[in-house]
Structure 1
Amino acid sequence: MAATTFVFLFNNYLVFWHGWPGVAPVLGGAAAFLGWLQLAGYVIPVAAIIVFALRNRERPFASDAALLYAVTAYVIAAAFWSTFFIGIVDGVISFLRVEGLLPAVFGKKLAQQLGVSSFRGVYVHLPLMLAAAVVAYYRRGLDFIWLALLVVVAEFQIVIARFIFSYEQAFMGDLVRFWYAALFLFASAHTLVAGGHVRVDVLYTHFTDRRKAMVNAWGSILLGVPLCWTILAVGMAGKASVINSPLLYFETSQSGYGLYVKYLMAGFLAVYAVSMMTQFLAYYLDAMAVLRGQSPSEPAHAPACTWNSSFSHC
């Protein structure tokens, strides 16, 4: 299921960014080869996983759950560092632009190009995302919790600038919204596994461990995973969908001198869906471990290994 999700995201990129046909024309037509290639992208990973499972029948469920926890942690960490780097750099660019300092710093031609959302997205944001992916691999810890402090700092500088220096620009408020959205959407998966979501346990608290595992297993498969797939399917159904459209056209806010990050906030929904799905699947595997008389990943309600750990040690 997790592998299929990542294949789906990659195929979505090929279809809407590079014009690939998708799996529909596999029965004929000029694009049949590409269609078969994309279909193979779904079939081969699933077949490989089935073969691996059959050859490793004694492998405990907790090992696979720990692997999914690690994948989730890495996805969230990479997303956090991306929003951190992009927020800082885009904020500086927007400040220089609104003050008319971009030509003096970067030259007239580059200053004009930095005012185009597609140019800034490809040549500024994308390299920062790649750098964030590298940093996330080597970093340890729950870095996304620093987003709470960053939101406070961003709000505080608005208060200081506005009420002391009578200075306020659109990019300052955009930065707060950018980090605020990231905080809640990126933290959701960790909050799930840490048991931090607000809930009223009228019955669940009194269940035995086995019954709790059964509830978690059925809830993850029947409620959690379908919800995440619904977000991805609806958000990426076509070019005009709520996730694809902003990403395709590098959508920005109506304020010409704000941050050029509105399209990334649509991408936050995809990060949320993917991280929650892998977390639900890990939750399911831990529950199955309990039902099979195995030990769940340790600790039971927190990631069992960090994202940069070797998979052989998960």
Structure 2
Amino acid sequence: MSTATDGAYADAMGADAYRPGTAVIRTFGWISVTMAFAYVINNFLCFWLEWPGVFALIAEPRPTGTGLVLALLQTALFVLSIVLAIVFVTRSPSRNLRADAMAMAAIANFVVRFAFWSVLLIGLVDAVISFLRVEALADQLLGAELGTELGRSRFRGPFVHAPMLIVALVIAARSRSLGFHWLALLVVLAELGIVLSRFVFSYEQAFQGDLVRFWYGALFLFASAYTLFEDGHVRVDVLYAGFSDKTKGLINAIGAIFLGLLLCWTIMILGMWNQSSIINSPLLAYEVSQSGFGMYVKYWMAGFLAIFAVTMCVQFTSCVLESIANYRQEPGAREIAPSAAA
């Protein structure tokens, strides 16, 4: 875990906020964050609610009536995301770069908390349902009609998984722990359960392996933003360790912009450009594994990529602001524990 000197972030007001270029850098940062969320919302409107999209305004034939209104609303969504960023910066001229960087990190952490509780609840509930179905208990306990419906991914998704998202959102809003740390323990326990059931009770079902893969994929992708915040990613640059803090700040800012943000936007654009894209296609089809009695969560694993891209985009933007503050040698720099930076 990282440690900061007492009051390092308490003083968000100061002369550093009025240095040349601060407003421009902050505006760039917040536009990067708001545009990422606007893109995801627009993707949902286009492919789940079947709105026409922004490009419908320049396509032939042009939309009319309700279609035109919806296309204009989607365009306004992107414009609003930019306007909100500019308004926030202009109305808070005394905030420095480090204050905004920490705020962005908090946003990424909230998304990760929400994602963690989502996969925890969905994983547990779906595993129980799969167990009941494979043991022919679903019809007896839940009724023949509901038991049959639970065998359809298009029913289980909106009527079982979606309510778990609402519960996860409430828990994430009230909890301050990131939570994903526990996924490592859950993966171990799930794997241990497979070993015990296989070698002690000679029992093994597809849903057991699905649960391990589901939680392990979430652990790997959800923890990336937090690892970036703690500077815990492995570096292969042998020269970086010898650089001064100022030079490190410059290198990190350039890398976060041209490598980090570019990667995140590449994933979002290619993964959510149309219905057949690698993220949208499984989600729209409620894609599941070929095993009939396995867990119906394969489509969520495609969504993990979207969570990864969005949280990393926000965290890379936070890294840009913090790195520029380090380059400008502004006070209040975080102290990264050696174990995290190793």
Deviations for 1:160-210, whole angstroms, at most 9, x for unmatched residues? 111111111110110111011111111111111112212234211111111
Pairwise CA distance, 1:80: 0.7
Tell me the matched-pair count: 301
Q: Distance in 2 between matches of 1:296 and 1:16?
A: 44
The AA in structure 1 aligned to 2:206 is A
Pairwise CA distance, 1:299: 5.0
Aligned partner of 1:6 among 37, 52, 60: 37
Q: Distance in 2 between matches of 1:56 and 1:124?
A: 43
Paired residues of 2:248 and 2:327 also in contact (CA < 8 A):
no
5 Å-filtered alignment, 1:117-156, equals 117-156=153-192
Structure 1 spans left out of the alignment, 5+ residues = 302-314
Q: Distance in 2 between matches of 1:203 and 1:142?
A: 33
> Normalized against structure 2, the TM-score is what?
0.85
The AA in structure 1 aligned to 2:44 is Y
**Structure 1 pair 111/198, CA: closer, same or farther in 2 (3 Å)?**
same
SS in 2 for 1:143: coil
Q: Distance in 2 between matches of 1:170 and 1:211?
A: 51
**Aligned-pair RMSD on alpha carbons?**
1.4
Q: Distance in 1 between matches of 2:156 and 2:233?
A: 37
Aligned to 1:312: none
The AA in structure 1 aligned to 2:290 is Q
Pairwise CA distance, 1:29: 2.7
The AA in structure 2 aligned to 1:257 is F
Pairwise CA distance, 1:296: 4.9
Aligned to 1:94: 130
The AA in structure 2 aligned to 1:258 is G
Paired residues of 2:326 and 2:333 also in contact (CA < 8 A):
no
Deviations for 1:80-131, whole angstroms, at most 9, x for unmatched residues? 1111111111111000000000011111111111111011010110110111
5 Å-filtered alignment, 1:209-288, equals 209-288=245-324
Task: Report which stretch shifted further, 74-83 or 203-212.
Answer: 203-212
Aligned partner of 1:29 among 63, 67, 82: 63
> Once the two structures are aligned, what percentage of the paired residues are identical?
50
Q: Distance in 2 between matches of 1:257 and 1:232?
A: 32
The AA in structure 1 aligned to 2:75 is L
Q: Distance in 2 between matches of 1:228 and 1:186?
A: 14
Aligned partner of 2:199 among 138, 142, 163: 163
Pairwise CA distance, 1:241: 0.8
The AA in structure 1 aligned to 2:33 is A
Q: Distance in 1 between matches of 2:46 and 2:331?
A: 42
